Amino acid sequence: MFSKSCEYAIRAVIYISSESKTGRKLSIQEIHEAIEAPEHFTAKILQILSRNRILSSQKGVHGGFYLDKIQGELKLIDIVEAIDGKTLFTGCGLGLKQCSETEPCPIHDKFKAIRNNLKKMLEETTIEELGKKLKNGKSVLKTLQE
Amino acid sequence: MFSKSCEYAIRAVIYISSESKTGRKLSIQEIHEAIEAPEHFTAKILQILSRNRILSSQKGVHGGFYLDKIQGELKLIDIVEAIDGKTLFTGCGLGLKQCSETEPCPIHDKFKAIRNNLKKMLEETTIEELGKKLKNGKSVLKTLQE
DNA sequence: TGCATTAAAGATATTTTTGTCCTTAATTGT
DNA sequence: ACAATTAAGGACAAAAATATCTTTAATGCA
């Protein structure tokens, strides 16, 4: 469904949100361990998210990644679009370039319904809500250690 | 959503179904042109579908691909599972290996709803139905020529 | 100022997916 | 039997996605 990059991105942002207290910034080290993703690849993805203003970063001692007030209120769809683009929500289910209402592919309508469902869910779900769920121990991002 | 291979597979099977008359067999040549997919890659995919009994084939003069009685009644999900596997319907939305009801990822329930929607649609949609729609000109698989 | 720390950026490597080509095997018609 | 045709299968190539490594730039602290 989502690319590996996008999965890591979502996991990272949720984790950052869950650890967000004013002023606290998380290092790549901490983030990649928390979400069990490859360190350097995680760094690349955080770079992209930062460029797309999905999150904020600061270099140097005591630097790291964090969400500012506005970023804390972003929705899942903002992350997905920043990493995987809008194709998932606009592209044809069978990969046809010319697929449209007037020249629909055989699964056009049925696929559109699914896609709209997915889009709606991603638009309605906030990062904050998922971060809290993680913080409360109601969900996990990595194997629980004994 | 689906891999390129899977998109080609679905397009190919729908086309074969749409041209299915008793005894008629379609060549790779005809199929790949009808669905605007690379010839040799299409051949590979048809091989896999044939091995998985999604369609039938015959070598030699007047050979080609066709759907037998039973295969004509298959559902979309049969093609998707043969090519992309069941991961789309069973895997975690965030790619976590250990995600489950007892250790759910943050989007577990919301994602499951979407996934079940998709699965239901694929289980309910028959190849035959899509083939007829194509045959009737109510849908297309390639750019219409003037 | 200089050093330690941390993210950004660029270069490279590996793996997977997608795509192509060539040889082999099966089938049919002559 | 033989030639023509068509799918099957194996080998190879190219492109894209994923992953790693190294250098550079920014920041804070002594």
Domain residue ranges of chain B, discontinuous segments joined by +: 4-135
Chain centroid to Cα A5, Å, comes to: 9
- Which residue do the tokens 């298959």 mark? B74
Name the helix (H) or strand (E) containing B65.
Answer: strand B64-66
Q: Find and list the nucleotides of strand D having atoms within 7 Å of a protein beta carbon.
A: 4-10, 17-22, 25-29
Q: Virtual CA dihedral for B27, B29, B34, B39, nearest 10 degrees?
A: 120
Verify whether the Cβ–Cβ distance B105 to A139 is below 8 Å: yes
| B143 pLDDT more than 80 | no
pLDDT of residue B22: 74
**Strand C interface, A 33-72, C-beta < 7 A:** 40, 43-44, 46-47, 50-51, 57-65
pLDDT of residue A142: 85
Write out chain A's pLDDT in tens, 146 residues: 999 999 999 999 999 999 987 779 999 999 999 999 999 999 999 999 999 999 999 999 999 999 999 999 999 999 999 999 999 999 999 999 999 999 999 999 999 999 999 999 999 999 999 999 999 999 999 876 55
Residue of B78, B121, B100 lying closest to A118 (CA atoms): B121
Q: To 10 degrees, what angle do helices A28-35 and A4-18 make?
A: 110
Q: ∠ at Cα A125 (A120, A129), nearest 5°?
A: 170
Query: What is d(CA A64, CA A16) in angstroms, rounded to the nearest whole number?
Result: 10
Of the two residues B144 and A59, the one the predictor is more confident about is: A59
pLDDT over 70, % of chain B: 98
Highest mean pLDDT among A19-28, B112-121, B136-145: B112-121
Which CATH code is given to the segment(s) A4-135?
1.10.10.10
Residue of chain A minimizing CA distance to B130: A106
CA distances to A85, A141, B58, B79, B136 from B66, rounded to whole Å, are: 38, 46, 9, 15, 19
* Interface probe with B: pick from A10, A87, A90, A96, most Cβ of B within 10 Å: A96
- Which residue do the tokens 């083939």 mark? B131
pLDDT of residue B14: 98
User: Which residue minimizes Cα–C1' distance to C20?
Assistant: B40
Verify whether the Cβ–Cβ distance A139 to B106 is below 8 Å: yes
B13 touches chain A (CB under 8 A): no
Verify whether the Cβ–Cβ distance B117 to A117 is below 8 Å: yes
Lookup: tokens for A51: 């460029």
| B15 pLDDT more than 90 | yes
pLDDT of residue A144: 66
Lookup: tokens for B93: 């939305």
Residue of B7, B56, B145 lying closest to A106 (CA atoms): B7
Q: Tell me the per-residue pLDDT of B54-69, one tens digit each, with 9 for 90 and over.
A: 999 999 999 999 999 9
pLDDT of residue B145: 55
A54, A64 Cβ separation under 8 angstroms = no
pLDDT of residue B146: 52
CA distances to A96, A111, A127, B7 from B2, rounded to whole Å, are: 12, 12, 26, 6
Verify whether the Cβ–Cβ distance A140 to B103 is below 8 Å: yes
Lookup: tokens for B81: 């599972």
